[in-house]
Amino acid sequence: MKFKILLFIGMVLFYVNYLFALPVDINGTITAFTYSFTDAFDADGANSGEYYTFLQFGEESIRQPLSPGGEETGSATEINFGRDMYSYARDINNLTDAQMAALGLTPEDYDELKNRVALDGRTFDESDVEFGNTYVIGQLTVQNGIWWTDTYYSNPVITIAMETFSANPTYNGLGFVQDALYRGTPNVNNNPYLDADFIYFYEFPEFGSFRILEGYSGAVEILGRFGSLELAGFGEVLTPDTAYVSSSISINNPVPEPATFFMIGLGMFALGAIRLRKTNT
């Protein structure tokens, strides 16, 4: 009889805890963009690279020129960055805006696909969280746009932060800050997989890299381990037609595994068919 009473009390407490479990929100933000440029710009007869590079934190105004100190800080769930090739072409040819216009050249003629890095968190019920276990804590989205070749810059580092917010102090204020290195690759292999740009966590090369085909956007899960909320690596690729995870962080990346290769190839075929259909229309 006593056992049944204890069992009943235990079940009641379990359901009360379940019904009144507090949410645990995990927020992701990008807090810094660190960069450096070589003197190749000066050799071309132009200003330094900061003048021809732009950066935007979220909905903030576009920053250009960048700080000569080599770091831009902010707080946003996404950043966009890229090149200003109109100004670069104007300056290396020693022209004015009026002279460019006389040649029929406008900034729109030099528009390029931006690079984009976005970070999304997620929400748990505290009843679903156990310390020591690994969960999908967010999503990383990267758009592979146009960027400088490595003659002109060293790879930028993007600082990301993920932190928990909860009314329960046990789950509040957990988090980490990590640097992710964004590696642009020269498109010289005539192979979308070998020429894919990639991003990886600087302190955790064992997690491998997330690679995105040129001109496309890709998304991947971010894994974390509850306790102090530790980064645990990349999870499932959510866009297998345009991106993949590699065990390598080298620019000389091996071609993906056959199954991944097939999925990406199938996706590229489908995207190509859609574009052709739009063109024909």
pLDDT exceeds cutoff 90 at 272: no
Q: Is the peptide bond before 65 cis (omega within 30 degrees of 0)?
A: yes
Residue 112 Rama label (left phi>0; alpha psi -120 to 50; beta): beta
60: which 2 tokens? 């903030």
Cα separation of 72 and 209, whole Å?
24
User: Residue 278 has what pLDDT?
Assistant: 42
User: Residue 233 has what pLDDT?
Assistant: 97
Average pLDDT for the chain: 86
DSSP state of 45: T
User: Residue 205 has what pLDDT?
Assistant: 96
Residue 200's nearest CA partner among 221, 174, 182 is 182
Residues 122-175 pLDDT 10s: 999 998 999 999 999 999 999 999 999 888 887 899 999 999 999 999 999 999
User: Residue 281 has what pLDDT?
Assistant: 40
DSSP state of 65: S
% of the chain exceeding 70 in pLDDT? 82
Residues 49-95 pLDDT 10s: 999 999 999 999 999 999 999 999 999 999 999 999 999 999 999 99
Count of residues for the chain? 281
